[in-house]
Amino acid sequence: MAAAAQTRGAEGCGDVALAVFDEFFSREQAALVRYCWGLTVDREAARDVAQEAMTRAYREWATVGADGSNPTAWTRTVALNLVRSQWRRDEVAADRAGALVAERRSTEVDTAGDVDLDRALRSLPARQREAVVLHHLLDLSVADSAALMGVGESTVKVHLQRGRAALADVLEVTE
């Protein structure tokens, strides 16, 4: 009976699947928000993306939480795709609004402790930011970062090298 409850998904099903999802949510939510923040550099947007990714995981729990699946990777991939979609929408808006969008983004930083990191992460191209966030903020290996980004390990290494160099310039880090 418990196995049948797990295979029906979390929504509208038995207590077993709901308990498994609750455990997953409790274990992964904070890391997912950190990941999303690193990609969006916006706390509220990060929370929204993480919540949407978890909501989708809940709705698809019969598949996402099935034996042999990796719900953490699935949820991070959903979050990454949500952020990428937002980036594409932002690019379209930037094309239409031009300098107005650039000005808005440059004034979003509000706390002194995060100003440099926010500014530095915003200065990176999207793929470099993804690699830096996955590898340095989430402590994923190069191989895991590559799998999540859908590129080869050498591509991740290039993005990391260029991203670190750009961050060093923006943050004025000297050796």
CATH number of the domain within which 42 lies: 1.10.1740
Same domain, 135 and 153: yes
> Quick one: 116 and 175 in the same domain?
yes
Q: Is residue 41 a contact partner of residue 118, using CB atoms and an 8 Å limit?
A: yes
Residue 76 domain boundaries: 1-108
Residues 116 and 104 in one domain: no
> What is the arithmetic mean of pLDDT over 87-107?
58
Q: Residue 86: its pLDDT value, please? A: 87
Please give the pLDDT value at position 174.
64
Average per-residue pLDDT for the chain: 80
CATH code of the domain containing 150: 1.10.10.10
pLDDT band at 95 (very low <50, low <70, confident <90, very high): low
pLDDT score of 31: 95
Residue 103's identity, in one-letter code, is: E
More confident residue, 66 or 78: 78
Domain co-membership, 90 together with 114: no
| Confidence at residue 78, expressed as pLDDT on a 0 to 100 scale | 96
Q: Is the pLDDT of residue 4 over 70?
A: no
**Hey, which of 19-23, 53-57, 84-88 has the most confident mean pLDDT?**
53-57
Both tokens assigned to 154 = 């050498």
pLDDT of residue 138: 82
Nearest 5 degrees, angle CA 168-CA 170-CA 173?
A: 35
pLDDT for 114 equals 52
Q: What is the pLDDT of residue 94?
A: 58
Instruction: Give the chain's largest Cα–Cα span.
Output: 62
Same domain, 66 and 125: no
Q: Flag whether pLDDT at 132 surpasses 80.
A: yes
What's the whole-number mean pLDDT along residues 23-39?
94
What span, in angstroms and rounded, lies between the C-alpha atoms of 150 and 64? 19
The count of structural domains within the chain is: 2
Q: Collect contacts of 80-88 with beta carbons under 8 A, ≥24 apart.
A: 80/39, 80/130, 80/148, 80/149, 82/49, 82/52, 82/53, 83/36, 83/39, 83/40, 83/49, 84/126, 86/40, 86/45, 86/49, 87/126
Lowest mean pLDDT among 28-32, 49-53, 135-139, 148-152: 135-139
Please report which confidence band the pLDDT of residue 10 belongs to, taking 50, 70 and 90 as the band edges.
Answer: low
Q: How far apart are CA 60 and CA 34, in angstroms?
A: 23
- Spatial CA neighbour of 137 closest among 46, 67, 45: 46
H or E element that contains 99: helix 99-106
Q: Which pLDDT does position 102 carry in this prediction?
A: 46
Cα separation, 110 vs 57, in Å, equals 32
